[in-house]
Amino acid sequence: MTAAQWVGRVVRPLVIVLGVVPLLVLVRRFVADDFGANPAEEIEHFTGMTALLMLLASLAVTPLRRLTRINALVKLRKPIGLWAFGYATLHLGCYLVFDQSLLWGEIIYDILERPYITVGFSAWLILSALAATSSAWAIRRLGKRWAPLHRMVYVAATLGILHFLWLVKLDATTPVTLGFVLVALFIYRLPGRAAAAPGRSGGAP
Amino acid sequence: MLIRRPDDIPTREITDESLYVTRRSWLTMAGVAAVGLLPASLAACGGERASATPGAAAGTATGGGGDEITPYDKATTYNNFYEFGTGKGDPSRNAHTLQPRPWTVMVDGDVRKPGRHDLTALLAGIGTVDRTYRHRCVEGWSMVIPWNGIPLADLIRKVEPGTKAKYVEFTTLYDTKQMPQQRSRTIDWPYVEGLRMDEAMNPLVLLATGMYGKTMPNQNGAPVRLVVPWKYGFKGGKSIVRIRFVEEQPLNTWQQLIPGEYGFYANVNPAVDHPRWSQARERRIGDFLKIPTLPFNGYGAQVASLYAGMDLRKNY
């Protein structure tokens, strides 16, 4: 089996299936009452963190592809990105229900007036646009516009980390660390370095 | 097993934990009865949660109808006590290094009876009280906790502050052996809090030495901590080693850290948001959904007059 076949037949299906693991962990911990004294808050943090980590993982695919020179790894981007969107949606749902009890007036006020909610919601909007245009049909349909649209994932990740940073009370170690990871991935992805990549250059992250 | 005056408190006066359960059901009944006596309009607008704490001055347990006491294991495992780490579960894991006995408290500043006192001696002769209070954190969660302790006002009267004493400053222990997390400089230790003298003299304020009828757990601020139920939880300094009577308003730690977000007064106020998040609602620990936050945490009848004429938006 070639490296490309290996990625297509083994790694990609594995990634698709493994994406559900955090959700299973969440359900197991919930059933076992393992989310501590404030489970609503813990579940919000858990889903938000999972979404952010998966988003960063999807951004790590291209650097990994360059390092390993296995171009087929690009096939992992879509499933990881879609899982990131799934957990971001779950995270948003927790906020809408646990924090706001679906009081839409307050939710709209929050989105418009509270910067950390504004950026978090904007990140989710971007991710939903990317998820909606992730099919082969949408890629064909959008043509040359698809790649620049999907580079917006860097904006979504930046907003996601800002969202995290702005809700932290004092200890910003974790969001700052994630910010450094994002910057490193972004620098690696800059156009000047594209020449280092074998085969087709450019394209979306 | 309250630590002050161990021979002084008859065992029969120490509330057994099971009694709190009984008391809780009694409180709920009392709350329901109280609601029945309220004008319909007041009850309809949520007056039933606005506990009038009728027994506060008499030293009995107080709490509004519908305020279920938070389970002990939750109140002792979900704590903000950065001296033992910034995670909510860190204090319960790490606070075993604290040695709350024996304990010395320095009383100084403009006071007629200053000095370094053994805590037991300092509190000797002051009658203890049990008080069940709502506890609202600035982060948007809350608990209902049965405290045991002494009214701060009684201690203040005992040490006789002078005329220049306009504020009382409370300092938490600074000892990297007992509180290893203080080696990280997230905060300019020690933790400092303060009250205006009239606030400090309000009968609701406790120097708590226990909770749920037990000795104060280390992670909750052993052996003695401040409880100011109408203010956000960070006003309640823990593991207090110094009580100083001063003329100038103390610079409390959170105000020093982020002055745009945390002030000196920190009264619970659903109408004044934290710059980054809403204070209109709170999540009672144990619940999933949030409930409305009450002005002064529901203790307005006892404390609102302290702030007559003050702009509480400016003095947040």
d(CA B32, CA A132): 53
Intervals of chain A under pLDDT 70: 192-205
Which string of DSSP letters, residue by residue, matches A158-192? HHHHHHHHHH-SS--HHHHHHHHHHHHHHHHHSGG
Interface contact B291, partner A, CB < 8 A:
no
Band the pLDDT of B150: cuts 50, 70, 90.
Answer: very high
> Which two tokens mark A81?
């990105």
ipTM > 0.90 for the complex: no
Who's near A125: CB < 8 A, 6+ residues apart? none
Residue contact A98–B82, C-beta within 8 A: no
Enclosing H/E stretch for B194: strand B192-196
Q: Which residues in chain B are closer than 8 Å to A171, comparing Cβ atoms?
A: 86, 186
Residue B91 has a pLDDT of: 97
Residues 124-153 of B with CB under 8 A from A: 139, 141
SS3 B79: coil
Residue contact A37–B78, C-beta within 8 A: yes
Residue B186 has a pLDDT of: 83
Residue A205 has a pLDDT of: 55
Residue A136 has a pLDDT of: 94
Other CB atoms closer than 10 Å to residue A175's CB: what's the count? 19
What percent of chain A has pLDDT above 70?
93
Interface contact B5, partner A, CB < 8 A:
no
Band the pLDDT of B184: cuts 50, 70, 90.
Answer: confident
d(CA A179, CA A166): 13
Residue contact A38–B186, C-beta within 8 A: no
Q: Which residues in chain A are closer than 8 Å to B77, comparing Cβ atoms?
A: 36-37
B219-235 tens-digit pLDDT? 999 999 999 999 999 99
pLDDT of B25 higher than 50: no
> Which two tokens mark B118?
């053994």
Residue contact B74–A116, C-beta within 8 A: no
Residue contact A99–B286, C-beta within 8 A: no
B102-138 tens-digit pLDDT? 999 999 999 999 999 999 999 999 999 999 999 999 9
d(CA B115, CA B159): 10
pLDDT of B68 higher than 80: yes
Q: What is the mean pLDDT of residues B232-260?
A: 97
